[in-house]
């Protein structure tokens, strides 16, 4: 039995050392730019929420048109388009989610670190419907067939060096465009973006290779933004911005400091409480909790959980649940000790009899966290994730790690020394 506990302790120590290594490496990576991080650092670099990193948060709401009401399929399509547009902004930690319940027509967008809300609104909320119209104003093609679009600079003599949008069509679009240009040689083919005329060139020859250029007297930024919109596709519904929140990085820095102070105070008070009320058992519990904290933080880094203030609050809450496991087990051990049982019998019965209560209490919290994750949005999901991770690892720490430490480090003489049990 003791040999088995020694092997278990070695496994725990390996996990603990590995977790410490990940934690330290992740903290160092957070102080580096993305370009200077190596592959491992990119894998574990902390992902901070808007309230810590600073940035902007928008809430958009889809509105019904006179002809049709917004459907769930259209909302999913709009969500996909906005996610593509956000990716074009180059923000790896952005959050784009559809709200649940009565607010299912709303989409919440968080852009950590973004400093230009006006530009973000322009790129995210614009319908971006590209239309090709013949001289009789008939729409013969839309931008749904665009495979790629990018900023380039004109090579024509008359417009040399001017920013243009070079687009490439998919196979189906190339065939359609070829037929359209063949039928309109010598005629004008106008290109509109959200009903705004970009250009109205005369078709000189059929274009069958699926490639074209849009000129419109753009600046480089305008051409780049339009190209990003065309790459992501047009929105299937009209979206209105109903709220906008800007969080400065200074507030985020202050939030980090306050959260760290709160977490440190909570940990110290918990350790003191356990040692005062449970004596030597409390010391072993504190060691177990230190291992639990290191592993939990490492797992949160590895799964790229978004660390917002509510998420950090969820982690602290789960720490309390982990302590609760030890409290339940130790109280049952005290009851067994008063019956005059041997040390091994006290330890075994204490953990065995407390297990059902521990499972029930943790399971109820996990169910609540699952509901929050399913129905919640943004920071609520972050709270649910950190709480769930903390509960699962806390169960491992309270039931397994603490058991191994008590088996190996609680001396046989403890049955005759009530102070070691906090009695």
Is the confidence at residue 12, as pLDDT, over 90? yes
Radius of gyration of the chain (CA): 30
**Can you state the angle between helices 117-125 and 72-88, rounded to 10 degrees?**
140
pLDDT in tens, 239-257: 889 988 887 765 556 767 7
The predicted model gives 372-377 an average pLDDT of 77
Is the confidence at residue 35, as pLDDT, over 70? no
**The predicted structure's pLDDT at residue 388:** 92
Is the confidence at residue 354, as pLDDT, over 80? yes
**The predicted structure's pLDDT at residue 372:** 85
Tokens of 294: 């290191």
> Coil, helix or strand for 117?
helix
SS (H, E, C) 198-240: EECCECCCCCCCCEEEECCCCCHHHHHHHHHHHHHCCCCCEEE
**The predicted structure's pLDDT at residue 91:** 64
Query: With contact defined as beta carbons under 8 Å apart, do 246 and 116 qualify?
Result: no
Q: Is the overall model pTM greater than 0.85, yes or no?
A: no
Q: Which of 98, 198, 186 is nearest to 143 (CA)?
A: 198
Question: Which domains does the chain show, CATH number per domain?
Answer: 2-46+249-421 (1.20.1640.10), 55-122 (3.30.70.3220), 127-234 (3.30.1360.200)
Q: Which residues contact 348 (CB under 8 A, 6 or more apart)?
A: none
Is the confidence at residue 1, as pLDDT, over 60? no
pLDDT in tens, 121-138: 877 888 888 899 999 999
**The predicted structure's pLDDT at residue 225:** 84
**The predicted structure's pLDDT at residue 16:** 94
**Mean pLDDT over each residue of the chain, to the nearest integer:** 85
pLDDT grade for 234, boundaries at 50, 70 and 90: confident
The torsion defined by the Cα of 222, 227, 232 and 238, in degrees rounded to 10, comes to: 40
pLDDT grade for 201, boundaries at 50, 70 and 90: confident
143 or 92, greater pLDDT: 143
The predicted model gives 148-163 an average pLDDT of 86
**Can you state the angle between helices 309-338 and 379-395, rounded to 10 degrees?**
30
Q: Which residues contact 92 (CB under 8 A, 6 or more apart)?
A: 34
Which of 40-54, 195-209, 236-250 is predicted most confidently? 195-209
Burial class, 350, CB count within 10 angstroms (exposed 0-12 / middle 13-18 / buried 19+):
buried
pLDDT in tens, 285-313: 999 999 999 999 999 999 888 787 788 88
Residue % of the chain over a pLDDT of 90: 25
């Amino acid at each position: 039995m003791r040999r088995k506990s020694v092997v278990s302790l070695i496994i725990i120590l390996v996990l603990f050392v590995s977790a410490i290594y990940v934690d330290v490496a992740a903290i160092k990576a957070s102080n580096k730019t993305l370009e200077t991080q190596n592959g491992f650092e990119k894998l574990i670099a902390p992902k901070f929420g808007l309230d810590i990193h600073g940035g902007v948060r928008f809430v958009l709401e889809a509105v019904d048109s006179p002809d049709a009401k917004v459907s769930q399929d259209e909302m999913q399509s709009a969500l996909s388009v906005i996610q593509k547009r956000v990716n074009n902004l180059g923000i790896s930690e952005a959050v784009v989610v559809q709200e649940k319940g009565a607010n299912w027509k709303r989409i919440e967008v968080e852009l950590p670190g973004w400093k230009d809300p006006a530009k973000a609104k322009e790129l995210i909320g614009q319908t971006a419907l590209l239309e090709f119209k013949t001289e009789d104003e008939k729409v013969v093609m839309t931008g749904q067939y665009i495979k790629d679009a990018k900023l380039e600079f004109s090579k024509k003599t008359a417009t040399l060096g001017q920013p243009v949008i070079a687009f490439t069509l998919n196979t189906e679009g190339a065939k359609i465009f070829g037929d359209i240009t063949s039928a309109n040689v010598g005629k004008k083919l106008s290109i509109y973006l959200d009903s705004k005329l970009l250009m109205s060139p005369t078709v000189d020859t059929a274009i069958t290779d699926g490639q074209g250029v849009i000129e419109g007297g753009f600046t480089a930024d305008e051409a780049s933004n339009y190209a990003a919109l065309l790459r992501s596709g047009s929105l299937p519904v009209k979206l209105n911005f109903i709220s906008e929140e800007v969080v400065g990085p200074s507030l985020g820095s202050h939030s980090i400091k306050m959260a760290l102070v709160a977490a440190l105070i909570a940990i110290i008070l918990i350790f003191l409480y356990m040692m005062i009320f449970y004596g030597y058992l409390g010391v072993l519990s504190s060691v177990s909790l230190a291992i639990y904290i290191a592993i939990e933080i490492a797992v949160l880094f590895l799964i790229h959980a978004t660390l917002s203030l509510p998420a950090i609050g969820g982690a602290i809450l789960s720490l309390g649940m982990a302590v609760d496991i030890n409290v339940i087990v130790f109280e049952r051990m005290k009851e067994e000790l008063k019956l005059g049982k041997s040390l091994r019998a006290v330890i075994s019965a204490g953990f065995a009899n407390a297990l059902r209560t521990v499972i029930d209490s943790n399971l109820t919290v996990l169910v609540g966290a699952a509901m929050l994750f399913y129905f919640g949005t943004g920071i609520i999901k972050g709270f649910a994730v950190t709480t769930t991770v903390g509960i699962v690892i806390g169960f491992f720490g309270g039931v397994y790690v603490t058991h191994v430490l008590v088996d190996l480090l609680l001396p046989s003489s403890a049955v005759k020394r009530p102070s070691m049990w906090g009695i």
